[in-house]
């Protein structure tokens, strides 16, 4: 009896294998996936990149707003807080940035009023570039009742550099994205 069952099962498997080998209904779905799949995966990775980028921008903006308080309450004017201290404070609040303190530039300059701002673009540094030098940026804490402009630039890695949004984020010379945050405020009359 065992022999008869084994023979029937063996013939059943052979017939099923032959039927599956001749069946071509899944070939069309495979072709569709091969055409649409890379676009869909690129879109998903772009959404992932955008989410991380938005989180980094929000963290940097929040940290710059907090760091500006050191200046407008007068702590930086007395020399108690330096440019490096402001950079360290921003890096502590912006936890998503790798090697933040080596890739941050803090610029602080007095301006005439809230409608004016420095004409030049932000100067950024990239510690991954062997030839990169720290850019010389203006750092003046100003005096009481003076309008100040603070600009911070951080370079950061792109999560998906070869596809989707990552292709547009990186700068041509560094292959990293530059995130810039700025704020204007008036010093307290101290």
Q: pLDDT band at 112, cuts 50/70/90?
A: confident
Q: What's the pLDDT tens digit per position in 1-33? A: 455 565 676 777 777 777 766 666 666 777 888
How many Cα neighbours within 13 Å face the side chain of 7? 4
- State how far the Cα of 137 lies from the Cα of 68, in Å rounded to an integer: 17
Mean pLDDT score, 88-108 = 90
Per-residue pLDDT tens digits for 40-74:
888 888 888 899 999 999 999 999 999 999 888 88
Here the tokens at position 82 are 């330096």
Q: Helix (H, G, I), strand (E, B), or coil: what is residue 36?
A: helix
Percent of the chain clearing pLDDT 70 (strictly above): 84
Q: How far apart are CA 11 and CA 189, in angstroms?
A: 95
**Stronger pLDDT, 133 or 123, i.e. the higher one:** 123
Domain boundaries, the chain: 41-186
Helices assigned H by DSSP within the chain? 2-22, 25-72, 83-93, 166-169
- State how far the alpha carbon of 31 is from the alpha carbons of 21, 40, 44, 163, in Å: 18, 14, 20, 22
Q: What is the model's pLDDT at position 128? A: 63
Q: Is the pLDDT of residue 131 over 70?
A: no
State the pTM of this model: 0.75
């Amino acid at each position: 009896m065992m022999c008869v069952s084994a023979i029937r099962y063996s013939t059943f498997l052979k017939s099923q294998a032959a039927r599956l080998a001749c069946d071509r209904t899944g070939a069309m779905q495979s072709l569709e996936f091969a055409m649409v799949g890379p676009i869909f995966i690129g879109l998903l990775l772009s959404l992932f990149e955008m989410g991380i980028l938005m989180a980094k921008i929000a963290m940097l903006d929040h940290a710059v707003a907090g760091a500006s308080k050191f200046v407008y309450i007068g702590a930086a004017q007395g020399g108690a807080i330096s440019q490096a201290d402001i950079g360290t404070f921003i890096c502590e609040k912006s936890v998503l940035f790798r090697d933040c303190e080596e890739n941050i530039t803090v610029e602080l300059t007095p301006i005439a009023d809230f409608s004016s701002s420095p004409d030049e673009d932000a100067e950024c540094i990239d510690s991954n570039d062997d030839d990169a030098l720290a850019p010389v940026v203006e750092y003046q804490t100003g005096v009481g009742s003076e309008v100040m402009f603070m600009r911070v630039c951080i370079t950061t890695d792109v999560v998906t550099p070869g596809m989707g949004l990552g292709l547009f984020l990186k700068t041509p010379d560094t292959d990293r994205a530059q995130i810039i945050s700025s704020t204007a405020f008036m010093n307290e009359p101290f």
